[in-house]
């Protein structure tokens, strides 16, 4: 019969042994240190100066003092002194200093690995339930990168379902961002948690925006809404072909063009300005106390909706001026001539401006 047990090295009571209680008590002391083991330190060189009965320590390789001959042993202090146990692979203990469970593996105490796979629910500083299977009660939650990047993914079963982030105030929803009932990105808001408004919806095909925060038409001037580029003006569409449909501008703000007949500028409000020149020769025909040139026709570079107002200046001589001819201007042309206080021969140029409306 062996004198000690194979696993815990407990002393055995031998046949016809005297003072059996000594062996029995020694075994109990060793059991007291091994069962539900609590280690005050998992690697300590010197015993405490005032050890407490029942406290256990794992001695280091360089054990000193009472432990000098028992390195890498569990030392438990008893009323009779120190009792030593050699831990075996797989022993469990509580690490009092670090408040954790540990296991003896590969001749060292290691934290007990936790199996966190397929847990039904997890509550961090709070109680999880079968709806909120993960719940965290804290001032902040940090998810950081491993390597360079980090993605947070929320998946839904199908296009008609919802994958979203809901922001609450006193447990009542006030904002929601996500794929809400379709595959477009919705930014929704609510004043009471019951009635929800799509502030912005992002089309997954085009990336274009709709929603209560975006213009619904060119006529929409609701305060606070975002202006669509095709409903408003920006550097890209200020210049171009102007247009009007049912009293609403349908093109650019300013349209300009140039040709042999002159130049024209159209404005979105309906104003049109035409510029041109006409060459005439001589202002020698007597007209009372004045002299005039022959009448010349200016065909406008763009037609007006009605006869415009016309102004004319003359270059080529001093003391001369331009005026309308004998007929009233039309929407497409005007008759002009030069007047002078004296007879003028030679080339004269009329610089013409017509201002009117193209609608």
Determine contact, residues 192/172, Cβ cutoff 8 Å: yes
Q: What is the pLDDT of residue 9?
A: 62
Share of the chain above pLDDT 70, in %: 93
- Report pLDDT for 23: 64
Condensed to tens digits (0 to 9), the pLDDT of residues 22-56 reads 666 776 777 766 888 999 999 999 999 999 999 99
pLDDT tens readout for residues 142-187:
999 999 999 999 999 999 999 999 999 999 999 999 999 999 999 9
pLDDT at 7: 62
The mean predicted confidence, pLDDT, of the chain is 92
CA distance 69 to 61: 10
The pTM for the full model equals: 0.60
CA distances from 339 to 243, 263, 308 (A): 39, 25, 21
pLDDT at 295: 94
Q: Mean of the pLDDT values across residues 64-90?
A: 94
Instruction: Determine the distance from the C-alpha atom of residue 259 to the mean position of all C-alpha atoms in its chain, rounded to a whole number.
Output: 50
Q: How many CA atoms lie within 13 A of 173 on its CB side?
A: 15
CB neighbour burial string for 45-59, b if at least 16 within 10 angstroms, e if fewer: bebeeebeeebbbbb
Stretch (H or E) spanning 180: strand 172-180
Q: Which two three-digit tokens encode residue 129?
A: 């339930």
For the chain, the domains span 20-111, 160-230, 256-357
Task: Summarize pLDDT for 207-257 with one digit per residue, the tens.
Answer: 999 999 999 998 899 999 999 988 888 888 899 999 998 888 888 999 999
Is CATH 2.60.40.2080 the classification given to domain 256-357? yes
């Amino acid at each position: 019969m062996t004198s000690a047990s194979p696993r815990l090295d407990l002393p055995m009571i031998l046949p016809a042994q005297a003072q059996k209680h000594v062996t029995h008590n020694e075994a109990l002391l060793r059991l007291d240190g091994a069962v539900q083991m609590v280690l005050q330190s998992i690697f300590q060189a010197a015993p405490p100066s005032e050890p407490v009965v029942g406290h256990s320590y794992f001695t280091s390789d360089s054990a000193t003092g009472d432990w000098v001959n028992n390195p890498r042993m569990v030392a438990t202090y008893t009323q009779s002194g120190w009792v030593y146990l050699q831990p075996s692979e797989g022993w469990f203990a509580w690490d009092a200093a670090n408040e954790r469970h540990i296991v003896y593996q590969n001749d060292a105490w290691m934290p007990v690995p936790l199996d966190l796979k397929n847990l039904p629910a997890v509550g961090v500083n709070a109680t999880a339930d079968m709806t909120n299977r993960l719940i965290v009660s804290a001032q902040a939650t940090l998810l950081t990168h491993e390597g360079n990047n980090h993605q947070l993914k929320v998946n839904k079963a199908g296009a008609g379902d919802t994958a979203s982030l809901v922001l609450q105030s006193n447990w009542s929803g006030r904002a929601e961002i996500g794929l809400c009932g379709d595959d477009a990105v919705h930014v929704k808001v609510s004043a009471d948690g019951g009635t929800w408004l799509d502030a912005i919806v992002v089309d997954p095909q085009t990336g274009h925006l709709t929603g209560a925060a975006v213009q619904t038409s060119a006529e929409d001037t609701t305060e606070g809404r975002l202006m669509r580029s095709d409903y408003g003006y920006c550097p890209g569409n200020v210049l171009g072909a102007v247009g009007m449909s049912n009293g609403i501008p349908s093109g650019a703000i300013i349209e300009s063009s140039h040709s042999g007949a002159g130049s024209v500028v159209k404005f979105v409000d309906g104003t049109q300005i035409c510029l041109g020149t006409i060459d005439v020769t001589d202002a020698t025909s007597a007209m009372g106390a004045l002299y005039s040139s022959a009448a010349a026709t200016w065909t406008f570079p763009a037609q007006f909706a009605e006869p415009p107002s016309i102004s004319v200046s003359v270059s080529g001589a001093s003391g001369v001026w331009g005026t309308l001819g004998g007929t009233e201007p039309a929407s497409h042309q005007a008759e002009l001539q030069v007047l002078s206080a004296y007879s003028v021969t030679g080339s004269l140029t009329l610089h013409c401006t017509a201002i009117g409306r193209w609608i």
